[in-house]
Amino acid sequence: MLAVLAPGQGSQKPGFLAPWLARPGAEARLRWWSALSGVDLVHLGTEADAEEIKDTAKTQPLLVAAALLTAEHLPMHDVAVVAGHSVGELAAAALAGVLSPEAAVTLAGVRGREMAAACALEPTGMSAVLGGEPDEVVAKIADAGLHPANRNGAGQIVAAGSLPGLEKFAADPPARAKIIKLQVAGAFHTPYMAPAEEGLGRVAAGITAGTPGKILLSNLDGTAVDHGPTMLLRLVRQVTAPVRWDLCMQTLADLGVTAIVELAPAGTLAGLAKRAIKGIEIVTVNTPDDLAKARDVIARHGAAPTHEPHPQFSVVVAAAAGTFTPAADLAEGAPIGAGQVVGAVQTRQGPVAVAAHSAGVLTEWLAHPDDPVAPGQPLARIGGQL
């Protein structure tokens, strides 16, 4: 099984899109997305210096556009799993079919502007914590009045909050941990971004989300989300919620993913995956010269496309790894309401409810009590749906 990953803020490099402009239609595509996002993506990806592309309002739509432009040159129909880090989730949602590319780029422009505006309200920042015992690191972050904004795995947690709090934290760091101050505009993925979440939510409310056609992982908790409107709500919520990339990587391992392709500008997520998931094949796509390797790994590890007609039913899937417990007294043939809980997956972090997103009839259990299940695994078939 193969996963495609879209990177987040901090992965950008000056001029990284220049080699792509020679591809047919690439420049026109970027100019169209520039009109939607409100920034000049061609300039930002080819001529802008490091300082300019560090601007949150410009970086976020640039990264989403770059991932989507890269993916257009790959056989994405053979890809089973997609995920994105932070703003990269918008690109992943588009690759899964939840958003159109135009909607993803537009939301990235709104997200970047709103988060930049929120950063200007109060001086805040972020610091990377490398090493240390994770629980101790998180406890020390809380003691300093800060938030664990990113838990990236591979011994990396990002603390975020007020500048005095970050200074206090750096003066008394966790044991065996190194603190690195990050050059960012503010405390992303914390309550300080509440105005940005509200602003993004007002725009996102006008979007009709599609059903994911791939296993789509969420930064909120690493689970697979199989309902478009739910994923759209999570994309908005993620502005103030911590990025749990460590749980996304755990889900990749639980799914049995054997290869990863990271989209441009690639490298950061590949490095984290290399340290966290043993024995996995990794390809980074930074220039068109990397496409041949990416296509080869997709051909060898990807899922074959299906041309079978769509069935007249919906499937409820597990959002996390664990053991399945059906709802008590719910038998095959029972009517199911939209949003009704049909069971739970017992995980290491506690039970995760499993709900039907559409009304119908429980035609068949696809998992049984105490069965071990993986994220994205079908649990029940609901009939009567198109």
Residue ranges of domains in the chain, CATH in brackets: 2-118+191-301 (3.40.366.10), 121-181 (3.30.70.250), 313-383 (2.40.50.100)
> Annotated catalytic residue: which of 147, 189, 227, 301?
189
Q: Say what the pLDDT of residue 142 is.
A: 94
Does the pLDDT at position 314 exceed 90?
Answer: no
Average pLDDT over residues 349-353: 87
- The residue type of 238 is Q
Q: Is the peptide bond before 14 cis (omega within 30 degrees of 0)?
A: no
Any residues with CB less than 8 A from the CB of 12 and at least 6 apart, and which? Answer: 53, 54, 59, 62, 63, 66, 265
Active site residue 77: no
Model pLDDT for residues 84-100, shown as the tens digit of each residue: 999 999 999 999 999 99
Does the pLDDT at position 15 exceed 50?
Answer: yes
- Of the pLDDT bands very low, low, confident and very high (cuts 50, 70, 90), residue 367 is confident
Higher-confidence position of 252 and 313: 252
Does the pLDDT at position 386 exceed 70?
Answer: no
Q: Say what the pLDDT of residue 384 is.
A: 64
Rg of the Cα atoms in the chain: 21
Does the pLDDT at position 164 exceed 80?
Answer: yes
* Alpha-carbon distances, residue 355 vs 226, 314, 342 (angstroms): 11, 12, 6
Model pLDDT for residues 49-97, shown as the tens digit of each residue: 999 999 999 999 999 999 999 999 999 999 999 999 999 999 999 999 9
Q: Which among 133, 33, 20, 135 has a CA at the least distance from the CA of 90?
A: 33
Does the pLDDT at position 247 exceed 70?
Answer: yes
* Alpha-carbon distances, residue 261 vs 13, 288, 324 (angstroms): 19, 14, 31
Any residues with CB less than 8 A from the CB of 179 and at least 6 apart, and which? Answer: 127, 128, 129, 130, 169, 170, 173
Exposure pattern of 268-292 as b/e (b: 16+ CB <10 Å)? Answer: bbbbbbeebbeebebbbbbeeebee
Higher-confidence position of 300 and 319: 300
Backbone φ, ψ for residue 156 (5° rounding): -130, 120
Q: How many residues does the chain have?
A: 386
Of the listed ranges 30-44, 126-140, 330-344, the one predicted with least confidence: 330-344
Angle, alpha carbons 93-99-103 (nearest 5°): 120
Q: Specify the pTM.
A: 0.82
Contact of 82 with 96, CB cutoff 8 Å? yes
Q: Say what the pLDDT of residue 312 is.
A: 52
Active site residue 85: no
H helix intervals, 39-87: 41-46, 56-71
Strands across the sheet containing 177-181: 147-153, 156-162, 124-131, 177-181
Model pLDDT for residues 296-307, shown as the tens digit of each residue: 999 999 874 443
Average pLDDT of every residue of the chain: 92
Does the pLDDT at position 358 exceed 90?
Answer: no
Q: Which among 281, 351, 357 has a CA at the least distance from the CA of 321?
A: 351
CA–CA dist 307, 310 (Å, integer) = 9
Dmax (CA) for the chain in angstroms is: 63
Model pLDDT for residues 92-121, shown as the tens digit of each residue: 999 999 999 999 999 999 999 999 999 999
Q: Give percent above pLDDT 70 in the chain.
A: 96
* Alpha-carbon distances, residue 72 vs 4, 20, 75, 88 (angstroms): 12, 11, 8, 16
> Annotated catalytic residue: which of 11, 34, 37, 86?
86
Cross-strand pairs, 3: 81, 260
Average pLDDT over residues 185-199: 96
Average pLDDT over residues 357-365: 85
Does the pLDDT at position 381 exceed 90?
Answer: no
Give the H or E element holding residue 177. strand 177-181
- Of the pLDDT bands very low, low, confident and very high (cuts 50, 70, 90), residue 385 is very low
